[in-house]
Amino acid sequence: MSESIFLLAIESSCDETSAAVLSNDRVLSNVIATQKVHEKYGGVVPELASRAHQQHIVPVVQQALSEATIESKQLNAVAYTQGPGLMGALLVGTSFAKSMAMALNIPLIPVHHMRAHIMAHFIRNTSDQKVPEFPFMCLTVSGGHTQIVLVNSPLDMQVVGETIDDAAGEALDKAAKVMGLPYPGGPHVDRLAKEGDAHKYVYTTPSIAGFNYSFSGLKTNLLYFLREKNAQDASFIERELNHICASYQHVVTEYLLAKLEAAAAHYNVRQVALAGGVSANSSLRSKLTRLCERRGWEAFIPPMGYCTDNAAMIGISGYYQFLQGHVGSWNDVPRASWPLEGSLR
Ligand code: KG4
Ligand code: ZN
């Protein structure tokens, strides 16, 4: 058997500073420092995110190496998130990864954050683990992106549908904010919805052609509904919180899965996956399982730890790019906006 490739991966696109060490497709360590500083502002403050990344990056990388019991001189490459994300946040990870790769004289691998969410399915947790076969259809849902991606190979991905305005995570986070819930609101909506009636209130989704989504109208729909109810009864939101969360989450998840189902059927794909932060949503996870049972398809749902931002997913993406010789150069710069399909050309 060939020798292991040891890879250090760094993620700093938004409000998580993370470092991981991989041995081929296995994760030896995956350290995540979540920035609490944003909570009181109800959203990520870019300048504070960059400062927090600067404070966290050295200890997080040191911890990742020490948990993996790997010394930096054993590393074969450094993978990092080149984009998309917040420019100041990306700069911290990019600069750190460059300096480290340069000092060690090893390749630097630029990784696309949304591709990495998808590639998290290929992290080998157990030797008998089932991974998706190509091609498969992946619904990638995070705080900043919502896409349906036809995954032909680790490097060949095609976006077949996407949101034309807000992302699904944003739609959940903004709705949560209107209801007075802390940031990020997605996990709170998920928790509160468990005790609510998903059919008590009806919110509507716009009809958009093809496999694209639109979430901005849905959010406005909820906002007007709450304003009207609140004007009649100031305790409405507090009293009905579980039902509102359940009904809103219901419409978001049904909408997401209806388009995913249509896209998978259209492309005649029988393996369907979830990726990104919103794939931690319990309702979305169980609904996808049921959809695949009904259709005779196979569902791939990432382990909870690999749904939200983490460096292990950057590492697995970097590993497959490394195998194909897709390494970067010292001149590479962070890319705040970066189309998924163009990222490996
Ligand atoms: O992938 P991610 O960690 O960061 C981005 O790349 O954006 O996704 C963060 C998003 C947030 O919108 C957050 O509210 C949402 O994922 N999220 C959830 C849950 N856990 C995280 N949304 C719904 N239910 C959850 N359990
Ligand atoms: Zn993400």
The CATH number that applies at residue 58 is: 3.30.420.40
Please report whether residue 343 resides in a domain. Answer: no
One domain, residues 178 and 59: no
Average pLDDT over residues 326-333: 95
Q: What is d(CA 150, CA 270) in angstroms, rounded to the nearest whole number? A: 12
**Which is the closest atom of ligand 1 to the Cα of 114?**
6
298 and 310 belong to one structural domain: no
Nearest CA owner, ligand 1 atom 16: 277
Å from CA of 170 to ligand 1 middle? 8
Which of 34, 81, 142, 279 maximizes ligand 1 atoms within 8 Å of its Cβ, making it the mutation to test the pocket?
Answer: 142
Tell me: do 204 and 217 sit in the same domain. yes
In this structure, which residues have their CB less than 5 angstroms from ion ligand 2? 142, 309
Centre of ligand 2 from the C-alpha of residue 308, in Å: 6
Q: How far apart are CA 245 and CA 309, in angstroms?
A: 24
Ligand 1 neighbours, Cβ below 6 Å, are 14, 142-144, 169, 172-173, 184-187, 190, 276-278, 280-281, 308-309
In a domain, 11, yes or no: yes
pLDDT one-digit tens code per residue, 84-137: 999 999 999 999 999 999 999 999 999 999 999 999 999 998 888 899 999 999
Q: How many domains does the chain have?
A: 2
286 and 154 in a single domain? The answer is yes
Query: Does a cis peptide bond (omega within 30 degrees of 0) precede residue 184?
Result: yes
Ligand 1: nearest atom to the Cα of 16: 3
Q: From the CA of 145, which ligand is nearest? A: 1
Domain assignment of residue 51, yes or no: yes
Domain annotation covers residue 335: no
207 domain-assigned = yes
Domain with 167, as residue range(s), is 136-302
Q: Is residue 131 part of a domain?
A: no
Q: Does one domain contain both 190 and 157?
A: yes
pLDDT in tens, 275-324: 999 999 999 999 999 999 999 999 999 999 999 999 999 999 999 999 99
Secondary structure (DSSP) of 13-30: SSSEEEEEEEETTEEEEE
Strand 146-151 and strand 157-162: pairing?
antiparallel
pTM: 0.96
